[in-house]
Structures are given as C-alpha cells and as structure tokens.
Amino acid sequence: MLLCQPLTYMNASGEAVAAVMRYYQVAPGRLMVGVDDADLPLGEIRLRPGGGSGGHHGLESLMRHLGTDAFARLRMCIGRQAGAREITGHVLGRFTAAEARVVEAVLRAAADQVECWLDAGTSEALLDTNRYLLEHGRANVQQTIYQDDCVILPPVFIHPDARVSTSIIGPFASIGAGAVIQNSSIRDSILSPGVHITNTHLEGSILGHDVVITGMMGKFNLGDNSWVSW
C-alpha cells in the first residue's frame, strides 16, 4: 500500500497522483482518493466507486490526468457556513472544539473504510460506510440523513426524519417516524408512524399508523389511518 499526499496545490492533485501511478504501475481500480467536501454536513462520509467530481477541483484534476473517473473516492464532509458561497476561509480555518470531536470520529471511521476497501473490496466497504452513517455517524450530529444507492443491512435503525432513496433496506430494519423513503425496496421491516414511502417495493413489513404510501407495489400489513395511492 502507498499512502501519498500531493505537494501540489489541491486543484492540481492529478499531476502528482498520475505520476505516482505511472511509476508504480497502479491501475485506477486500485486507487482510493480521500477528499474534503463542503457541500455535505459535517460528520458525514461518502464512499463511491467512481462517478463525477461533484464540483471538487481536486477530483476534476485527477480525472483529467488519469483519463478516467473509475477510481474510488472517500468524501469526508466538513459542511459550510450557512449562506456562504466563498468557502476558502472555512476550508482552511480551524474547527471549534465541538466540531473537532466530530472530525476525530469521522477520521477514525474513514481509516476503517480504507482498511475495509483494501481487505475486502469496494462492495463491502460501501456496506461498512453505510453502517457508519446510519448507526454511528450522522445520527450523532443531526437527525436528517440523506442516503443514495445504499444496501442497508440488519441490524439498523433509520433515524427519524431520514431521507433515503434508491436503496435496498432490510430485512429487520426499523424506520423512524417521519422518515421519507423513495425509489427503494423495503423487506421484512417495521415502519414507525408518519413514515412516507414513494415508488418503493414493500414486502413482509409492518406499518405504523398514519403511514403514507404512494406509487408502490408489494405485500404488507397496513396500520390504522394509513392509506395507499397508485
């Protein structure tokens, strides 16, 4: 394993990374890039096996110099000041004492994700990242969790007011009150009162009262005062 820190400016990271990969003959599929991300709240981490840059200039440089976006990237989210568009001062500034405790936990989790990726590959590392987010990460920072393209395995509690989309949930998941699930699949799970489900396959699950379901198909037990529309 090579642990590298480019000495170029962040916006030119691709120059250093591409040179190291050529020298050591490392394929893009064996590259993991760790980056900060100001567009997601502090305390969240995101692992992706590839894809776009999301406006991150360091990732743009990497894609340009490697000629591909097919490399893993682990985003460690630092948030941004409310309403601020210029983030240089925030990115280069110091964390408060409370923020520093969150960052410490995120860095430990990120190191675990990298080790999991090295040992077991991207798929297992994605699952491990999702477990962190839903069980230990964002839940300790705030109640709203935004997740996409996840496989959420037991045992897991999806916190109240969570937003989950394009994911596979369950079996044996417990979905907190007020959560919104869309374009997903839920199996053999318990949905608390006030959950909203849209375009989601629901099977073998128990629904609390006042659950709202639109545009889905499946076999389920419907709680009191719940309704379904197609």
CA distances from 225 to 42, 149, 193, 213 (A): 37, 31, 10, 12
96-120 pLDDT, tens digit per residue, is 887 788 788 788 888 888 888 888 8
Helix axes 57-66, 13-24, angle to 10 degrees: 40
User: Does 31 or 139 have the greater pLDDT score?
Assistant: 31
SS (H, E, C) 173-191: EEECCCCEEECCEEECCEE
The predicted structure's pLDDT at residue 33: 94
Q: What is the mean pLDDT of the chain?
A: 76
The terminus-to-terminus CA distance of the chain in angstroms comes to 52
Mean pLDDT on 31-58: 83
Mean pLDDT on 73-91: 69
The domains of the chain are located at 1-142, 144-230
The predicted structure's pLDDT at residue 159: 67
User: How many CB atoms lie under 10 A from the CB of residue 175?
Assistant: 29
- Full-model pTM: 0.56
Query: Which value, in Å, is the radius of gyration of the alpha carbons in the chain?
Result: 20
Best-predicted range by mean pLDDT (23-27, 52-56, 149-153, 168-172): 23-27
The predicted structure's pLDDT at residue 68: 95
Q: Which residues are 212's β-sheet partners? A: 196, 227
Whether 26 has a pLDDT exceeding 90, the answer reads yes
Give the pairing of strands 212-214 and 146-148.
unpaired
Per-residue pLDDT band for 167 (boundaries 50, 70, 90) equals confident
Q: Which amino acid is at 202?
A: L
Q: Of all helices (H) and strands (E), which one includes residue 165?
A: strand 163-165
User: Does 228 or 180 have the greater pLDDT score?
Assistant: 180
Tokens of 217: 């198909």
Architecture of domain 1-142: 3-Layer(aba) Sandwich (3.40)
Mean pLDDT on 131-154: 48
Q: Which residues are 163's β-sheet partners? A: 146, 180
The predicted structure's pLDDT at residue 62: 95
What span, in angstroms and rounded, lies between the C-alpha atoms of 224 and 218? 18
199-216 pLDDT, tens digit per residue, is 888 887 877 777 878 876
Mean pLDDT on 64-89: 78
Largest CA distance in the chain: 65
The predicted structure's pLDDT at residue 151: 52
